[in-house]
Every structure is written in C-alpha cells, then in structure tokens.
Amino acid sequence: MTADALNPGPAASLLGLDPAMVTQARELARRAGQPIVELARTHTTVSVERAVLRLAGLDGADDEGMPWVNLLAEAVRESAGLEHGIALPAWDALLTGGYPSLPALAAAAAAGTVKFRIPEGRDAAAATGAARAALAAGFARIDARRAERDAMISATGDPPKPWIYLIVATGDIYEDIPQAQAAAREGADVIAVIRSTGQSLLDYVPEGATREGYAGTYATRENFRLMRAALDETSRELGRYVRLTNYASGLCMPEIAALAGLERLDMMLNDCMYGIIFRDINPRRTFIDQRFSRQVHARAGIIINTGEDNYLTTADAVDAAHTVVVSQLLNEFFAREAGLPDGQIGLGHAFEINPDVPDSFLLELAHAQLVRELFPDAPLKYMPPTKHMTGNVFAGYLLDAFFNLAGVMTGQSILLIGMMTEGIHTPFLADRDLALENVNYVRRAAGGLAGSFRPEPGGFIARRAQEVLGEAVGLLSRIGDEGLLTAIGRGTFGVTRRPADGGRGLDGVIARAPGYFNPATEIMDTGTEGPGEAR
Amino acid sequence: MTTASAGQSLSGPERASQHSDQDRKIVRPYGDTTGDGRVQLSFTLPVPYGTSEQRARAEGAALQLAAKMGMDPAMVVHAKGMGPDFTFFIVYGRVAHLVDLSEVIVAEREFPLLPAAEINLRIRSALGRKLVVVGACIGTDAHTVGIDAILNVKGHAGEKGLEYYREMRIVNLGAQVAVPDLVARARAEQADAVLVSQVVTQRDAHLNNTREMAAAFRAAGPPQPLLVVGGPRFAPGTEAGLGVDKIFGKGTGPGEVASYLAHALAPASAKAAAPPGLTSDEGARREGGASKRPEHELNSTAGAGGSGGR
C-alpha cells in the first residue's frame, strides 16, 4: 500500500481503494439495475412514442397550443392502442389514408376522422418501411448536428477543464439570451437555462419561443434553437465553444432529449431517479423514459448530468454520502447500458457538509476524490454549497471559495459556480461577477494543486473514502436483494419514499405487445451507423 | 449604550446626543465608535466604467445614490466595471438616521411549542378523533420538498413530520394541484386544516395562488378548514390580506406547524393539559427543532432562480 502511494501508476488509487471492492460495487449496481432494464425493454410510454414522432419530424401544435404529437398519440391510443408502438398504426394511416404529411394526419386524427388499426401482411411491411425511412432521416439530422458541434469545437476551441457552469433563468428567452451571452463573456464555459418549475409535470412540450415562465424558461424546440444560435455567435467571438445545457427530465423526458439532439444542445440534466424522488413522477415511467432518452443522448453526443447533489439537500451530506455513490454507480450502469460512453456520463455530487462539522473540508475532499477515482473518465459535475448558505454572504463567499478549492484539488470536470446570495434571491449581476472572481482566483492560485494532492496513505481522508465505498457496497447489496423499486419505495434516496405504483404518469406506461415496433429504438439498439460510434 | 456612561471620551456634541438618545432608546449603526452611524452598502448601476471620464462619472453617480439614501459623508471604496454597461460599487459611509427601539414591533408567536405527545393528547381530548390535514403545492409550483419535509414522517433535520403524530391523518396531494381539486379533496376528506406550500415567487405567483385558494374555499362555503400557507417569501403578518389563517415563513419546522394546529384546532382544556414529565423522547426531539434548518429554504434556491433545479 505504501509503495503504491509513493509510486502511483496511472491506475493507482491515492485513497488506497481496494480494486476488488470497486469491481464488486459495479457488479452489485448491475444486479440492482438489470431488472429495471428489462422493464424498459418490455414497456413503452406515451412520451417515448411521441418522441418517435418528433424524431420523424412532426412539430407544431393546434390552435390551443397542444402539440400535434400529443393529439396524434392520443388518437392512436384510443382506437388502436399503443401496445404495438405508434409507428405501425400511424404510418399505416398515413399511407392508406392518402395524407400528404404527418401534420395533416395529426390534424385529421385530432378531428376524429382517422380510424387507426394495427396493419398486417403487406400493409404492415409498407408501414414499417415508411416509418424506418422517416426515422433514418431524423437520425441523420441528429448525426449532422453532432458533426456540426465537432466542427464548431475545432473552429472555436475547447475550453480547459474544469468548465465553469452558470445558470440563467429569467422566464423570458429574449432576456435569457443577452444574460447568457454576458455570462459567457465573463467566463462561463457552460450555460444552463433553468426550466420553468411547472414543466416537469406537463405531459406535453410547449411550442415556440416563450416569454413567460416561473423560476425558469420553458424548454421548447424554438427556445433551444434561439439560445444555441446566440451562443454560437458568442463562441466565435470568444474563440471558445460555449456549451448549452437544459433538462431532459419530467414527464416528457424522451421528447426533450430528441429536441436537444435535433437542436445541438451539448449537455442535458438526465438523472435516473431525480424525477421520482423530487417531482413525484412514477418510478416505472421514469426508468422507461430514461432509457430511451439516454439512447438519444448517446447518439447525439450529448453529455448527461446526473443529479446526486440533490439527495444532499434533504439528507445529511455525511450520513448519506454513500447514497450518492450508490446512485452514481446506478446512473453509470444505466447510462452505459443505454450506449453512453464514460466521456458522456457527467455524474453529479456536491459540497454540502455542514461547515460546523469538524474536519468538514477533509470530509469533502475524501468524498470528491472518491468519486474522481471511481469514475476516472467521467466529466464529473460538482455542485456548490446551498444547504448551509445562511444569508451571511461573507461566510457564504468563503464557503464557495473552499468549494472551488476542493474542485481544483480533486480534478473535478464541471464546476457549477456558487453564489454567495444562494437562497436569498435570484443572483444579482454583481453576485455572478463576484462568483467568477472567486473561482478565477482559485484556479489561478491553485489550479495545479491536483498534481500535488497526495492524501496520507491510511490517513483520515483515505480512511473516510474507504468507509463511504464500503457503505455503498453494503447498500447496493441490500438494494439488489430487495429490488431497486422497493428500495426507492422505502425512502433509500433523499429520505423520500416513492412507491412503484405512486406518482404521476403511470397511466402513460404501456406493456409492449408481441410485434411491438419502434423504428427509433431499432436504429439506436443497433446504433452502429453514424458518428456516434466514433467516440 | 453603556460605553458612554462608562466614561469613554466622546466629543462634546456626540456625548450630549448619546445621553438624550439613551433616554429615548435611540441607537445608530455602530462602526468602530458608539454613534458613528457607519454602514456599508453594495450595489450595481447600469453605467460604464471604461474611460477615466466614465469612471469619474460612475463614482459620482454612486455617491449621488448614497447621498440620497442618507449616507453623508460616503466613500466609494471599490468600483469595478462588469462588462461594457455596468459598474459594481462598495460604499462605506455615515447615515444620520436614528433607530428608536421603542417603536420596534415584534410579532410574538401566539402559541407555545408543544411536544408531540402533548399534541396527540390534546387532539384526542378535544376532537375525539384524528385531526385531518390535507397538504399540497398549488398552481404551477412543483417544489414538493418543503411540504414533504413538513408532512412526511421523516420530517427534516431530525424533527419528525406530521405523519409521525399518531392523532393526525395526513393526505399529501403533492405538486401542481389545481385549486378546485384541492377544495374538492379537502371536503371529501373532511379536512380540519389545509397546508399549502408555495416556493415560486416569480410575478408574485405565491401571493396570487394563495388568494385564489382562499377565495375558492370561501366560495365553497362551510365547513371552512384552517388555511395554512408556508414558503420562504411570505411576509409575516399578511394573513388577513391573503385570506388565510396562518402564514409560516423561512425557518419553520414540522413541530412548529403541529403546535400551531393543536393551538388552533384542539385548544387545551383543564383535563387535557399534559401532566408534567410526560414529555418522552418525542418531546425531547422538539427542542432543537424549532431553530433547525428551514424546510422551505431547502428548495428556495430553485424558487429564487438560483442554482436550484439542478
């Protein structure tokens, strides 16, 4: 052990982690997650089916703003059911009914003038072929967007890590744009547009540019497009590619993932359990939607951000440290299973230990370094203190500096910048400027510290990290025994209990019938064409 | 104020004013000397800070604002341009304002904090049945963390939520409940109290939603459940204007809410008063509770558009 620490090879653990225990942890995560994957492979949801239509190019809404994909999916569900997937009945109706386009079919379906059926024989073959062609064109658009990103990064330059992650959230996309551009000019590498708080529970994606939101701006395709175009302009101006982030979460997770791929968003919040725990969305609905979403993200070259930091806002950051690691291992398993390479798995964690706790900074370092070593190739997203920001802005500024220091010492990849006015108000312009001054000082003064950070073998930090990993293995073992859905129902994560049949959106979960056909998953399951393979 | 009488030397006029201030319980901000009135302030003005002419103009603008706020003299100790259009200032100065402590009004809590055992006992004695609480986030507000921290048995920061109270029946409707649905469910459940959490404050959503809810319950007619709202941005003492019975702000724990419900709905009678020494471990747990971390603050970051929702 001592010899290893003195001569750390590329894979050697500074924390003296037992490689066998790390392997065991991943194996236990696989055991806990595999039944969920089976659930996702044998079921679909209304939002997965709507995402198929969106990938095929169906956009727009009726006069009341209800998207055509919702109206078409509802009409199909009522007459033919969605057990066979939407593609067979929809493209069958399109071909046999002589509609010129999907929007025309959707309008007729909404008016109640289309009778859908599950086609057989030659009709089924025709519908299947037409749907496959439509989806192939959709994925070609996503592939083109991905190539476009690569070209932009080559042309403008990729900022060094850690990337500085800043949030805008005015509710009005036309206010968000100048704020985002200003933040990028001040040093932000990643801009996140916080979503309107109501959106996660909407079972449709709003249309068009929006100027009204609550505590955030609606995620719509047009808002995505407007913001990405503005940041492209700023990226060229700065000679640095500025990434754009939004949320593939809530009841429309698969559709938003599709829109993100079509409009070249770069990162998406996409946690395997966040919606369950914090938005009371049905666990089955979430897991099924999530697998499809992650397949889309994998294809589109989008980095997912997971939300483990949120557990520590309800649970104690020391007592529940191992639940963060357990969730990360589960998120990693689900992400890899859906085809995401490690470089696109932005696992989350947070600096949320009560500063009154003795050795709190050592504990933070232990947790942050543990995550860094467990997931060496993941673009880890490290979240600043929120729970112990008291309104004392001076103390808060100091705490944020310690967060920034822990971030650079342990080689975190993405730093969400802490605001000293956290919990008081929407950050003032000056709060953001001071926050950037803080992180820029720490990077300048201590950016190289990670190379010299060598926790004492067998010392406090190493022992704490080993302890958390051991607790994580113990919890994963229990979850494997009782089943993940049961564990969630018992309040294992975020000390919130969410039963498998509770929450919103369960009525949108549909068991697949024999002969279920989904041309999008067909392409993504094989998923070997296109630039998605290269990484 | 003891410093003046302790014989610290102050200049003549200062000393005189100190004595008269003391009689009227008058104080001023304290920098490093009694009565010096020194304060600090930071703010941003939408003015450029590029050329030397712009800088002089910007600092002059900051001093003008400080003067209008009653700071005289004021000193700009820090000014920094933020992008092409804005300047951030830190200003120190002296204010002439006097604070009359005798005019300060403090809203006192009108009910005692009770241990869980006593709350249960009072409900049993006064109602002879379980006290029914229906909770929800109304309108577009999806932040259930606050209401969950109050209602769920786990509670928050070691303080058990209302589900923990044996004599309460809790119906948690979750997020984004439409007001008519809340009214209907409250009636169906024969709710004694309705608890509503409102975190989002953009465009005064929390106030509008609360008024809408209160109006809907009034329109529905009797029986009227006790209407309780909680959230980090409600101003204390605004119950009447919003049409509700009680507002809880930042820093409220489940124990305080439970105590209020017992106070309002299950008043103590002589026979129901808890005998001394009844407070078991349930009661002990309450102790730190009232001052523990606020349940609503947990998610107020998202509501305030901070880094929440991350």
Asked, for residue A1, whether it belongs to a domain, the answer is: no
Q: If pLDDT is split at 50, 70 and 90, which confidence band does B157 have?
A: low
Task: Please state which of the ranges A97-101, B59-63, B142-146 shows the lowest mean pLDDT.
Answer: B142-146
Query: B42 — contact with chain A (CB < 8 Å)?
Result: yes
Fold for domain B2-103? Answer: Defensin A-like (3.30.30)
Chain B residues whose CB is inside 8 A of the A279 CB are: 142, 144, 175
Q: What is the mean pLDDT of residues B34-42?
A: 96
Superfamily of the domain at B116-303: Cobalamin-binding domain (3.40.50.280)
- The CA-CA-CA angle for residues A508, A510, A516, to 5°, reads 135
Split at pLDDT 50, 70, 90, the class of A527 is: low
User: What pLDDT is recorded for position B20?
Assistant: 53
Interface of A with B in 84-143 (CB under 8 A): none
pTM here? 0.81
pLDDT in tens, B260-272: 999 999 987 644 4
Residues 415-454 of A with CB under 8 A from B: 416, 418-419, 421-430, 433-434
Q: How confident is the model at residue B140 (pLDDT cuts 50, 70, 90)?
A: low
CA distance A246 to chain B (A): 10
Q: Which helix (H) or strand (E) holds B172?
A: strand B168-172
Question: Residue A369: what pLDDT?
Answer: 98
Contact indicator for A282, A505 with CB cutoff of 8 Å: yes
Residue B146 has pLDDT above 90, yes or no: no
Instruction: Name the more confident of B286 and A157.
Output: A157
If you write DSSP's letter for every residue of chain B in order, what string do you get? -HHHHTT----HHHHHHHHHHHHTTEE---SSSTT--EEEEEEEES----SHHHHHHHHHHHHHHHHHTTEEEEEEEEEEEETTTEEEEEEEEEE---EEGGG---PPPSS----HHHHHHHHHHHHSSPEEEEEEEBTT----HHHHHHHSTT-BTTB--GGG-TTEEEEE--SSB-HHHHHHHHHHTT-SEEEEE----GGGHHHHHHHHHHHHHHHH-SSPPEEEEE-TTPPTT-HHHHT-SEEE-TT--HHHHHHHHHHHHS---TTTSPPTT---HHHHHHHHHTTS--TTHHHHHHHTTSSTT-
Identify the H or E element spanning A245.
Answer: strand A243-247
Query: Using CA of residue B33, residue B34, residue B37, residue B42, what is the dihedral sign?
Result: positive
Indicate whether A15 pLDDT > 70.
yes
CA angle A169, A175, A179 (to 5 degrees): 70
- Flag whether pLDDT at B300 surpasses 60: no
Calculate how close chain A gets to B142, using CA atoms only, in Å: 6
Q: What is the pLDDT of residue B3?
A: 37
Work out the pLDDT band at B237, boundaries 50, 70, 90: confident
Of the candidates B88, B145, B205, the beta carbon closest to that of A214 is on B205
Inter-chain residue contact A422 with B43, CB threshold 8 Å:
no
Q: pLDDT value at position B15?
A: 45
User: Is the CB of A429 less than 8 angstroms away from the CB of B42?
Assistant: no
Q: Which residue has the higher pLDDT, B163 or A154?
A: A154
B286 band by pLDDT with thresholds 50, 70 and 90: very low
Task: Tell which wins on pLDDT, B44 or B301.
Answer: B44
Question: Active-site residue numbers of A?
Answer: 274, 309, 381
pLDDT of residue A434: 95
Mean pLDDT of chain B: 79
For the ranges A225-239, A307-321, B17-31, the maximum mean pLDDT occurs at A225-239
Q: Is residue A115 part of a domain?
A: yes
**Mean pLDDT, rounded, for A502-525:** 95
What pLDDT score was predicted for residue B294?
A: 31
CB-closest option in B142, B156, B310 to A279: B142
Testing the interface with B: which of A166, A179, A185, A197 to mutate, by most B Cβ within 10 A? A197
Q: Residue A280 domain-assigned?
A: no
Residues of the domain holding A60: 43-136
Is B154 noted as a catalytic residue in this protein? yes
Please count the structural domains in chain A: 1
pLDDT score, position B4: 38
Per mean pLDDT, which range of A12-16, A408-412, B32-36 is the poorest?
A: A12-16
Which residues of chain B are within 8 Å of residue A348 when distances are taken between CB atoms?
310
**Is A495 touching B (CB cutoff 8 A)?**
yes
Average pLDDT over residues B113-120: 92
**Least reliable range by pLDDT among A86-100, A275-289, B160-174:** B160-174
Cα A59 to Cα A103: distance, rounded to the nearest angstrom? 8
Angle at the Cα of A19 (from A13 to A23), degrees rounded to 5? 135
For residue A161, being part of any structural domain is answered with no
Please check whether residue A535 lies inside any domain of the structure: no
- Confidence at residue B177, expressed as pLDDT on a 0 to 100 scale: 84
pLDDT surpasses 80 at A64: yes
Please give the residue of chain A at the shortest CA–CA distance from B295.
A314
Lowest mean pLDDT among A7-11, A448-452, B179-183: A7-11
In a domain, A73, yes or no: yes
Residues within 8 A of B (CB atoms), A 289-328 only: 307, 309-310, 313-314
Per-domain residue ranges of chain B: 2-103, 116-303
Write out pLDDT tens, residues A475-490: 999 999 999 999 999 8
The residues that bridge with B82 in the sheet, in sequence order, are B86
* Residues of A in Cβ contact (< 8 Å) with B300: 423
pLDDT of residue A212: 85
Q: Show the beta-strand stretches assigned E in B19-156.
A: 26-27, 38-45, 71-82, 86-95, 99-100, 131-137
Count CB-CB contacts under 10 A for residue A200: 25
Is the model's pLDDT at A255 over the cut of 60? Answer: yes
**Binning pLDDT at 50, 70 and 90, where does residue B236 land?**
confident
Residues of B in contact with A185 (CB under 8 A): 83
User: Quick check: A383 and B307 CB within 8 A?
Assistant: yes
What percentage of chain A has pLDDT greater than the value 90? 83
- A214 → closest Cβ in B149, B200, B307: B200
- Asked if A194 lies within 8 A of B148 by C-beta distance, the reply is no
Residue of A nearest to B143 (CA): A279
Per-residue confidence band for B139, with pLDDT thresholds at 50, 70 and 90: confident
pLDDT confidence bin for B141, thresholds 50/70/90? low
Average pLDDT on B35-40 reads 96
- C-alpha A19/C-alpha A29 separation (Å) is 15
pLDDT surpasses 80 at A140: yes
**Residue B298, pLDDT above cutoff 50:** no
Closest residue on chain B to A306 (Cα):
B310
